[in-house]
Amino acid sequence: MKILLLADIHSNWPALRAIDETFDVCLFVGDLVDYGTDPVPCIEWALKNVSSGVRGNHDHAVAQRIPVRKKTGLSQLAGATRPRHWEILQPEHLKYLARLPVTRRVVLEDKTYYLVHATPRDPFDEYLKNDLEGWQERLQGIQADFVCVGHSHIPFVIDLGGTTVINPGSVGQPRDGDPRAAYCVIEDGQVSLRRVEYDIDETVEHMRASGVPASILELGEHFLRTGGRILPSS
């Protein structure tokens, strides 16, 4: 069995479209929307292809029509793109986001997969990267062969001895210094973190045509082209 594991698509349709993999099952660990400006084809793709998925913090915020209050960092980008989501998403799209569970346990070929966007302790908001001791603490009481997470936008695989934690990285907005779309394939128990180039120009032009203000577009474009490097202070 070949499993495609995706996270943090963030309305970046050119990045999602660039993933050219056959698969038997697709698992998704949250954040289809926000930051980018083309959510409809991303959600339509998920409706057709995602076998099991969970809700990310941005999925929750868009579905529940929660405005962005923070005015710094990437929150500015979410604040500029979220209203567009509410203009173009149809009720069935919002319903799909709202009905994604917060956590999900899936059994595939005698292996158990536990899906959560951030961590079991805080499914929406806790950032935990490649931290062996941190994940050991967070996964106490979680019985699974694979724990699949997203949220940090940084790919990693951690072997905890009996449980493997996988973050496939971000499809639509990587933050590990590599701008290529990140994803993971699990085949016959073997985990493979993969990258693929996509048309960043197309993503940026869509954001510009959608009316993202120039100063905020500059921030978003910088993150896309550099793979999430911090913008130098002026």
* Tens-digit pLDDT profile for residues 97-126: 999 999 999 999 999 999 999 999 999 999
Res. 230 pLDDT band, cuts 50 70 90: low
Question: What pLDDT shows up at residue 112?
Answer: 97
Return the pLDDT at 214.
96
Q: Scanning the structure block, which residue is given the tokens 């793979």?
A: 227
Q: d(Cα 58, Cα 79) in Å, to the nearest integer? A: 11
Q: Each residue of 138-174: pLDDT tens digit?
A: 998 899 999 999 999 999 999 999 999 999 999 999 9
Tokens of 214: 């120039």
The predicted model gives 68-81 an average pLDDT of 92
pLDDT of the residue at 56: 98
Average pLDDT over every residue of 129-144: 91
Model pLDDT for residues 182-219, shown as the tens digit of each residue: 999 999 889 999 999 999 999 999 999 999 999 999 99
Sheet holding 146-148, edge to edge: 103-108, 111-116, 146-148, 164-167, 156-159
Percent of the chain whose pLDDT exceeds 70: 98
Q: What does the alpha-carbon distance between residue 230 and residue 112 come to, in Å, rounded to a whole number? A: 37
Q: What average pLDDT does the chain have?
A: 95
User: In CATH, what number does 2-102+169-226 get?
Assistant: 3.60.21.10
Pairing of strands 181-187, 190-196: antiparallel
Q: How far apart are CA 48 and CA 1, in angstroms?
A: 19
**Is the CB of residue 16 less than 8 Å from the CB of residue 181?**
yes
Which residue in this structure is represented by tokens 């910088």? 222
Buried b (16+ CB within 10 A) or exposed e, 28-52: bbbbbbbbbbbbeebbebbeeebeb
The reported pTM is 0.95
For 136, phi then psi, to 5°, come to: -60, -40
Distance between CA 11 and CA 81 in Å, rounded?
10
Bridge partners of 157?
A: 166
pLDDT at 97: 98
